Amino acid sequence: NFVLTQPHSVSESPGKTVTISCTRSSGSIASNSVQWYQQRPGSSPTIVIYEDYQRPSGVPDRFSGSIDSSSNSASLSISGLKPEDEADYHCQSSDRTGRVFGGGTKLTVL
Amino acid sequence: QVHLQQWGAGLLKPSETLSLTCAVYGGSFSGYYWTWIRQAPGKGLEWIGEVNHGGSTTYKASLKSRVSISLDTSKNQFSLSLRSVTAADTAVYYCAGLWLGSYYFDSWGQGTLVTVSS
């Protein structure tokens, strides 16, 4: 199996753009889709990006996803930061043995 | 998307068996992978395992010897059993659904805090 590594925390000011990385330890990041979930305190996670860069209906276009094969990582970018974006963000992918989550990143909007 | 409602015991002693059940409302029971995910205090999400409508299961390798996930199709419910719990199993446990042919969990239960303490 593989590990997805995320930074423990990131912070940025309102109106700015922040990017959260998710690096896959083995196997290609492009071989299985990457999803991103937002989790506010005390709540269940909700999807914000699926299949690397797809946005579910209802998710603002301020949220975008990408993958970079050269660094074997996926990224979630949030532009025009708002206070309500403050949350934990979790990346998730799969291989033939099952599904894997990253350790989660706490986003603080200063 | 469906609505998931979960329940089960919240306080266990070491060596006991954790049992949780999740009921599915308002959608296709047969169209999903039904999944259990947990989150230890202050930690990230951890996939435990899943079952499809046919009853085929996949488990996280490190938990495989202690875990089982089962279906009750007559009640549109699925359940988690985790044997021989220790303090390391203390976590919020979530049930979740992943639509067949998609890649993400679009339905989540409300979460159940399970504490293992003597």
| pLDDT tens string A13-68 | 999 999 999 999 999 999 999 999 999 999 999 999 999 999 999 999 999 999 99
DSSP string for chain A: ---EE--SEEEE-TTS-EEEEEEESSS-GGGS--EEEEE-TTS--EEEEBTTTB--TTS-TTEEEEEETTTTEEEEEE-S--GGG-EEEEEEEEETTEEEE---EEEEE-
Secondary structure of residue B89 in the 3-state scheme: helix
Residues from chain A contacting residue B45 (CB–CB below 8 Å):
37, 45, 90, 92, 101, 104
| pLDDT at residue number A61 | 97
Q: How far apart are CA A92 and CA A109, in angstroms?
A: 23
Pairwise pLDDT comparison (A110 vs B69), residue with the higher score = B69
Q: B103 and A50 in contact by Cβ < 8 A?
A: yes
Average pLDDT over residues B85-107: 94
Question: pLDDT category, B101, cuts 50, 70, 90?
Answer: confident
Chain centroid to Cα B29, Å, comes to 15
Q: A37 and B44 in contact by Cβ < 8 A?
A: no
| pLDDT at residue number B54 | 87
Q: What digits encode the pLDDT tens for the residues B28-64?
A: 888 899 999 999 999 999 999 999 988 999 999 999 9
Nearest CA in chain A to B50: A98
| pLDDT at residue number A1 | 83
Q: A33 and B45 in contact by Cβ < 8 A?
A: no
Q: B44 and A104 in contact by Cβ < 8 A?
A: yes
| CB nearest to B61's CB, from A1, A47, A50 | A1
Helices (H) then strands (E): counts for chain B: 0, 11
Which residues of B fall below an 8 Å CB-CB distance to A?
35, 37, 43-47, 49-50, 58-61, 94, 102-106, 108-111
Q: Does the pLDDT at position B107 exceed 90?
A: yes
DSSP string for B1-33: --EEEEEE-SEE-TT--EEEEEEEESS-STTEE
Q: A102 and B35 in contact by Cβ < 8 A?
A: no
> How many CB pairs (< 8 A) connect A and B?
58
| pLDDT at residue number B53 | 84
Measure in Å the smallest separation between the Cα of B44 and chain A Cα atoms. 4
Nearest CA in chain B to A100: B47
Q: Is A70 exposed, middle or buried (0-12, 13-18, 19+ CB in 10 A)?
A: exposed
